[in-house]
Amino acid sequence: MKELTLELALRMLEAAERWARDVAGFPCSIAVVDRSGALIAVHRMDGAAMATTDIAIEKAYTAVAWGMPTMLGSRWLDPRNVGQHIGDHALGMIGRGKGRLCLIPGGIPVTNEEGEIIGGIGCSGIPAGLGSINDTAVSQAGIVSLFED
Amino acid sequence: MKMELGLSVAKAMLKKAVEEARRLGKAFSIAIVDDRGWLVALHRMDGAPPPTAEIARDKAWTAASFRMPTAEVGSRYGDPKQPGFGLTPHDWNDRLTTLPGGIPVEVNGSVIGAVGVAGGTPEEDLRICRAALEGLSLKP
């Protein structure tokens, strides 16, 4: 895989939507961006709140911009880290990148077989606090679909 | 009952639009919004420049909000003799645009959403918009 095409993006979205609907049971928005962070496709499932669309796009963008899952950035924001280098670093990220960097879990970079980042996927809309049912898991379902069959 | 422009309808519309774009041999961004102007789905075809995604979304938002094609917003509010003259792209979230290529989706006399297309000439964008409307009848 050299790059993400619209066709691959739609395959990821279908799989992620299926997981959100059938396993998580919550509607959400899911976005796929290319390796420059530019949007390829976004779907807002029926019933998902309006804000989820832009947040999903921002999560996917941030995953590519950082080259790592947005979950890590949000972990750094832990209040126990404030005052330490890692926590202050995360606080300083807020509002950076023209306000597009999102420090909420749910965005994951998409890597190919060689480990190169070819894009990102982000999900928003699954309520927090449900353990393994979360935005990141929806995004993961999308990534898994790329490597099936 | 008023028909809702949900994700399944949006997908059917996008499918038709992308098919038409392939016939034209060009790459477009196509955005579908609901009657509140909220984005339901957006596809950027391979090769379409990244900014077209936001432009398509702006067109769809404008068409849904004004309940009229984006080109008409320009001729109606861009005319100094008309009330409302002086609308700028900075009005409303920076989304307002009078570029042709956004049209409302009307079913049984009420607007249920809009489609916005960017990536070609105004005529080509409108052609893709009209193709998207054909997808309405394919609704599962």
Q: What is the mean pLDDT of residues A48-55?
A: 97
Q: Do B41 and A43 touch (CB under 8 A)?
A: yes
For residue B129, the model assigns a pLDDT of 97
Which of A6, A46, A50 is opposite residue B45, by nearest beta carbon? Answer: A6
Structural domain B7-135, CATH architecture: 2-Layer Sandwich (3.30)
Choose from B28, B36, B40, B58 for mutation: most chain A CBs within 10 A: B40
Domain-located, residue A43: yes
Do residues B28 and B132 touch, judged by C-beta distance below 8 A? no
* Domain residue spans of chain B: 7-135
Domain-located, residue A25: yes
Supply the CATH number for residue A116's domain: 3.30.450.150
Domain-located, residue A51: yes
In Å, how far is A76's CA from the nearest CA of chain B? 31
Task: Write out pLDDT tens, residues A100-138.
Answer: 999 999 999 999 989 999 999 999 999 999 999 999 999
**Which ipTM was obtained for this model?**
0.91
What predicted TM-score, i.e. pTM, was given to this entire model? Answer: 0.93
Q: Do A38 and B6 touch (CB under 8 A)?
A: no
Range of the domain at A120: 6-125
Domain-located, residue A103: yes
Dump the DSSP string for A41-97.
EEEE-TT--THHHHHHHHHHHHHHHHTS-HHHHHHHT-GGGTTSHHHHHHHHHTTTG
Number of domains within chain A: 1
Domain-located, residue A79: yes
B46 reaches A (C-beta below 8 A): yes
